[in-house]
Amino acid sequence: MSTVATPAIAVNATRHAGFIAIVLISSLASFRILDQLVQYSLNNASSSHIVLIPFIAFFLLYIERRPTCSATTASIALGIAIMLAGALLGSLAYWGPVPQAGGWALSLATLSLVVVWNGGFLLCYGFAVWRAAAFPLLFLLLMVPLPDAVLNRTIHALQEGSTEIAYLIFQAVGVPVARHGFLLTVPGVTIEVSKECSSIRSSMALFITCLLAAHLYLRTGWKTLVLVLLSLPLSIIKNGIRITTLTLLSIYVNPSFLTGSLHRDGGFVFFLLALLLLFPIFLWLARTEKLRASSAT
């Protein structure tokens, strides 16, 4: 048995070393971009998740590493072609017609790095293994920051949805309310659902949580899609509840609730609320997966 296993182990070790080398070399070559990306993530609440994405993706690759240990044919031509395409995207970000302002160049440069990593994986392990490990490799796309124009439209949509939900909740509980754009006027106070109140950070956190939960516990495509798509309306509903809760507390308990710690740092509390609303649906979907697997067995 040892004479059969030893060559396979040697081949796998070579592939692992090759992929790690490609990731490290490309990261060193893109050090300036990675530095800008980290600074952007740390200084923009809407993109604070970016610094965590590569760690999560490579951790998933590690814990799901069984496919990478299979001896399959490396896709040398395809891997090199995709790596060259990634390098071309990077050159366009540096010297091409892509505008440096508005985050377009940073987005394209980060995308080029993700493409190079995927091409390197294909080069080392082959298409069959890439397909088995596609989720963590494509999960890396979440480290690509949205250009300002796209991000602003996303935040605007969240503002619209949150304002509408808050308006409906005020009406449902019998509080007189008037709406003018993103301004909500209730007896004693007028609040504005600003960009900072759009809940973009917790919306991304909820989306990523649903994406990971679906990948780890669900196998049926439509169930995965349902869970992931539910993250957007739940995020808006959660933010509408947050707005109305803080406003009502400021009216009937203490005005400082609109400026206090619950307003500044209480997003996590309402994030947990969204998870609680989502949890029964997730349990039902996961249970149907187990029943399906049992019936198949």
| Alpha carbons within 13 A on the beta-carbon side of 241 | 15
pLDDT by residue (tens digit) across 84-125? 999 999 888 878 777 767 788 999 999 999 999 999 999 999
Sign of CA dihedral 171, 174, 175, 176: positive
Q: For the chain, give the mean pLDDT.
A: 85
pLDDT at 135: 94
CB atoms within 10 A of CB 255: 12
In this model, does residue 51 exceed pLDDT 90? yes
User: Model pTM?
Assistant: 0.85
In this model, does residue 136 exceed pLDDT 90? yes
pLDDT at 1: 41
143 is written with which tokens?
A: 């480290």
CB atoms within 10 A of CB 145: 23
Give the least confident one: 90-94, 263-267, 278-282.
263-267
pLDDT grade, residue 2 (50/70/90)? very low
pLDDT grade, residue 262 (50/70/90)? low
Which has the higher per-residue pLDDT, 65 or 172?
172
> What is the C-alpha separation between 115 and 119, in angstroms, rounded?
6
> What is the C-alpha separation between 13 and 124, in angstroms, rounded?
11
Looking at beta carbons, which pairs linking 285-291 to residues 24 or more positions away fall under 8 Å? 285/218, 285/223, 285/226, 285/227, 286/217, 286/218, 288/223, 289/217, 289/218, 289/219, 289/220, 289/223
Instruction: State how far the alpha carbon of 248 is from the alpha carbons of 160, 186, 190, 244, 278, in Å.
Output: 20, 9, 12, 6, 25
Decide if 146 contacts 103 (C-beta within 8 A). Answer: yes
In this model, does residue 4 exceed pLDDT 50? no
pLDDT at 71: 54
pLDDT at 117: 96
Tokens 């980290």 found at: 38
pLDDT at 265: 62
Distant-in-sequence, close-in-space partners of 77: CB < 8 Å, separation ≥ 6: none
Give the least confident one: 16-20, 44-48, 234-238, 260-264.
260-264
pLDDT at 84: 95
Query: What is the maximum span of the chain, computed from C-alpha positions, in angstroms?
Result: 82
Of residues 159, 186, 183, the one with CA closest to residue 171 = 186
pLDDT at 294: 63
pLDDT grade, residue 68 (50/70/90)? low
pLDDT at 292: 65
13 is written with which tokens?
A: 């070790």
Distant-in-sequence, close-in-space partners of 230: CB < 8 Å, separation ≥ 6: 210, 278, 281
> What is the C-alpha separation between 116 and 34, in angstroms, rounded?
14
Share of the chain above pLDDT 90, in %: 41
Domain ranges of the chain: 2-142, 150-296
